[in-house]
Amino acid sequence: MNEHRYEHLQAILERGARSHGCQSAWISSPRKRPKKVGPMSSFWIVRRALEVSARVERDVTMKTRLARFPFVKTLDQFDFSFQPALNEAQIRELATARFVANGENILLLGPPGVGKTHLAVSCCR
């Protein structure tokens, strides 16, 4: 398996591990393992990575459905040029969801139609 592909799979596994609250992914470090990874075990890595990515995807769709959003929009769909007063960097920082880990709140204030709901929804996608 070539290096690039290996890193890609590793990224998928890490992501899966994180979203399921595990300490580390199934393969612990790309530095230690690549040499040992033979043709057979690479098959298992691919299989495992596919499983994990499918599970993550299911998890996200399920949670999106449970959240009952009025619509699903991403931050990239937000037209920052239309609201110049808005600090884009600040919004992007919020979208990393660090505030959720700290239990903090966000209050979006403004007249109707300036995109408060859009921002609120996209902050958690």
Partner 1 sequence: MQGISVVFFTVADLVDLVQQDVKEDRLERRLHALSKPKLLILDEMGYVPLDQRSAQFLFRLISRRYQKGSIILTSNKSYGEWGDVVSDYVLATAMLDRLLHYSTTINIRGESYRLREKRKAGVFHDLTAKALAPRPLPEKHKGRSQAT
Binding site for partner 1 (CB under 8 A): 15, 18-21, 56, 59-60, 63, 66-70, 79, 82-87, 90-91, 94-97, 99-100, 102-117, 119-121, 123-125
Give least dist CB 58 to partner 1, A.
Answer: 11
Q: How many angstroms separate the CA atoms of 2 and 42, rounded?
A: 10
Instruction: Judge contact between 124 and 97, C-beta under 8 A.
Output: yes
Give least dist CB 4 to partner 1, A.
Answer: 23
Give least dist CB 9 to partner 1, A.
Answer: 17
Instruction: Judge contact between 111 and 71, C-beta under 8 A.
Output: no
Nearer to partner 1, 45 or 119 (CB): 119
Give least dist CB 34 to partner 1, A.
Answer: 27
Nearer to partner 1, 41 or 59 (CB): 59
Token representation of residue 40: 């057979």
Nearer to partner 1, 32 or 82 (CB): 82
Q: How many angstroms separate the CA atoms of 30 and 4, rounded?
A: 11
If you write DSSP's letter for every residue of 76-103 in order, what string do you get? GGS-GGG-TTS-HHHHHHHTTTHHHHTT
